[in-house]
Structure 1
Amino acid sequence: MNAFLMHAVELAVLPVVVAMEDAGYPVDIAYLHQLRGRLEPEMELVKKRICEIGGDGFNPNSPQQVQRLLFGTLGLAVSKTTKTGQPATDGEALDQLKGKHEVVPLLIRFRQLAKIVNTYCSIPDQVDPDGRLRVQFNQLAAETGRFASPSVIQLLPKDDEFAIRDAFRATDGHMIVGADFRQQELNILAQVSCDKNMLAALTAGVDLHGLAAVKVFKLDCDPNQVEVLHKDKRKAVKSIQFGLLYGKSAHSLARDLGITVEAAKKLLDNYFAQFPAVRKLIDRVHKDVVRDGYVDDVFGRRRQLPAATRRVPRRKFAEMSDEQKAILRGIDAAKREAQNFIIQGAAATITKLAMVRCHQHIVADHPEIRFILTLHDELQFEVPAALVDHFAAELPELMCNLGLERFGLKVPLSVDVKVGVSWGKMAKWKGIHESASQAQ
């Protein structure tokens, strides 16, 4: 780790971590108790019906028993296998079996309800007497530099039918203010790759997913109108672009979009034809990690990936030994991780720099504001209602003017600010928010 990362980022963010862990997130315990009371009866009814099909003593929580029921008793065709070659019963496998037997959607629903009841409705057990959930944030647990936490707070479902995030509610007289970087990782991809089309779009404030959809699908409309006029096309290129960030293959893209592998390959080819600089960046990163066994992001954060330097004889995959196949898979995995790291690592550093700047401002000018959460590219605060508009107006400047030009990131980032009485009820802040009337 270089001096900048050590002193300006990791050591500087420590006081912010301490402040977040000390503040905790206010939780509406009664809301979660009511949710449990509503869901448990449905869960028992679903379980009863599953057990009627599965027979006496059937346990829907047992993957082995579910496997025997689906592929043994009911004789359904195996849609997916595990790494050991056994029939899979995970969520993806069950989704592929929908329509094959009535028990499949019942199993999916049971697992969904069990997850909510057992994981999220049990959060009150972890809440302190003052009504706040205090969790640990590990700033270096992930190789990318992203924050990680053993708590479920970073895994709460978004916009689901159960509205779990509504339980994370500001205390009386306060509001939750959230600010997240707009298309942060795509912004970094555009700047690191130096893609002219993307950079021009960023400078003009154009939606990058919309731009990609227009170019890949030859759409005759403004990129910023694609989400309204061609929602399916935007979704497709969004999968492509996020897939590139996470090193996804054509097979993964095909699965995400529900299309053939050949169609997915064609989409990727069309995308790279429109954004050739992105293809060159990926090729360069793969070449570097295979040669060096590590890769650095723009800030100098390094990811060691020694598996990339291993070698196998040049021959057809089917002719390789099991050991050689394993080595080749390891090389491919290392390439994908390197591809992801150069973007996600930079994003993590930018978010930490923004956290430091916001915290310094709070300590100096607004000690009554609490820094309560960091979630990837989003920061959240609990703010007195009277200060919401003032603080919300300050956040974009605090988070965007970070002096990144010296690292080659010359196009400013953008921030969206949201305000609400709870995490789940936050809405876009438009300059003047009815904070006082909404705060309890």
Structure 2
Amino acid sequence: MKKTLLKNLHVINPCADPALLENAYVAIAGDTIESVSSSEPSGEFDVVHDLCGKTALPGMINAHHHLYSALAVGMPLPKNNPRNFNEILEQVWWEMDLALDRDSTQACFEAGLVDSLKAGTTTIIDHHCSPSYIEGSLSLLAETSEKLGLNISTAFEISDRNGQEIFEASLQENIAAISKFSATQYVHPMLGLHASFTLSDASLRKIRDAAGKLDSWGIHAHVSEDKADEADALNKGYNSVLERLEEFDLLNENGLIIHGLHIKDSDLELIQKHGSQFVHNPSSNANNRVGMTPNQNLNKLKSGLGTDGMQSNMLREGKEGMLIRSSHLEGGEDSVDYMQLLFKNNAEIASKLFSGSHGSSRKLGYILPKYQADLAIFDYLPRTPISESTIFGNIFFGLSGLPCDVMTRGEFRIRDYQLLDVSEQEIKANAVEQAKKLWSNFN
């Protein structure tokens, strides 16, 4: 087993005690941290890296991403201006995802994962959709992630909106991935559901029956992102979207509930009752003008933080979430601790999911002993004193750039801002060509 030592490194664990250890030594065995100390550990090391006073954060976790949207940057706007969230879905995202083929899907995965890695995001919980390329798409995602050394959670969006054949194929792609990857260390497969307003009761029953044949499973589902989702549940005879999902036995401790802007107090109790995880996506919610998740939902449910495909930079998402919320508050009103969502809650969510997928204990999201050696290292010279009491300001208002070095599983994937295992130039050049083709197919 390879033994690696990092020295002269300022280690920040924002939600640990201590949160700051200056001039630290980090000893790594294989893919796991052995020790973090202020004095040099004894023993022999195969490799010693002098980080020369750089600053390390834990490799960050994106608790909800849509990598398939990577080629949407700058794409042409729809001919008619969408008037509500449903029209945004119909005129933008459903047009785009239907146009994805294998080549453009692969370009999305490669470009999106490279951007994640460059931003210091080392674990991605993804929710994928490419209705014209279903079979094998989640295996392609897992393979692409493995090349870059990332942790990936897979899910394919199941929906009725493209007809019965695509519904069945989407369900089977999830089942196939769960069967294939449940024992894989760096992959956590889930059961992807689109918002329930695109799923009939008969479809939810089929999903439940298929899930019941699996040893372990959890849904990764959009819930109550817009008021229309709740209105649909009411029209179908249910008190709420979550009560509808519970009716079909689709809530459990392995599930991810995404968005939840318009859920009721009784829904909070349902999530807590089943032990499901909750994930907040502030920049996407602001962009789609669907509202803002209430403080109590985030605090009571120990919410994680995702980007919903808007970006791959979690530091930026945390800062933007804080500023978006502050713009809606009066002076003196309590806000939400986005540092906790990003560094504490996301670590707990990812550690739980990735441990459950293969029966071993995977610890993600801290630079501490027994945690996976995933680090985002910044060439950061603070302009004000840095201490445990000033970490918040330094992280959200000081660390404005990308990490210079990124390590995953005990191996450097980026050194001096350059990817070591793949050619970013080739990946991005291919993405540009695939984006041109994709845009021409639905505009």
**Same fold? TM cut 0.5:** no
Higher CA-based Rg: 1
Structure with the bigger percentage of strand:
2
Bucket of the pairwise TM-score, normalised by the shorter protein = under 0.3
